[in-house]
Amino acid sequence: MPLKELAERRTLLHRKSDAQTVLAHALDDLAIGPVAMVSSFGAESVVLLHMVSQIAPDTPILFIDTEMLFDATLTYQREVAEQLGLRDIRVVKPAREALLERDVDGVLHHFDKNACCALRKSEPLERALEGFGGWVTGRKRIHGGLRKSLPLFEKSDRRIKINPLASWTQGMVADYITQHDLPRHPMVAQGYPSIGCQPCTTPAGADEDPRAGRWRGSAKTECGIHFEDAKPLRRAS
Domains and CATH numbers, the chain: 3-190 (3.40.50.620)
State the catalytic residue, choosing from 116, 197, 200, 223.
223
Question: Looking at the predicted structure, is the pLDDT value of residue 232 above 90?
Answer: no
Supply the DSSP symbol for 190.
G
Task: Note the pLDDT of residue 236.
Answer: 37
Residue type, 228: E
- Give the pTM: 0.89
Name the region of 218 (left: φ>0; alpha: ψ -120 to 50; beta: rest). Answer: beta
* Residue 116 appears among annotated catalytic residues: no
Helix, strand, coil fractions of the chain, as percent rounded to 5: 40, 15, 45
Choice among 16-30, 99-113, 133-147, 158-172 with the minimum mean pLDDT? 133-147
Task: Note the pLDDT of residue 149.
Answer: 77
Q: How far is Cα 17 from Cα 221, in angstroms, rounded to an integer?
A: 29
Q: Helices 46-55 and 19-27 meet at what angle, rounded to 10? A: 60
Question: Looking at the predicted structure, is the pLDDT value of residue 202 above 60?
Answer: yes
Task: Note the pLDDT of residue 212.
Answer: 83
Q: Please give the share of the chain, as a percent, with pLDDT higher than 70.
A: 91
Cβ(35)–Cβ(58) under 8 Å?
no
Q: How far is Cα 12 from Cα 228, in angstroms, rounded to an integer?
A: 19
Q: How far is Cα 195 from Cα 202, in angstroms, rounded to an integer?
A: 8
pLDDT tens digits for 59-101? Answer: 999 999 999 999 999 999 999 999 999 999 999 999 999 999 9
- pLDDT mean over 112-128: 94
pLDDT tens digits for 143-162? Answer: 766 667 799 999 988 999 99
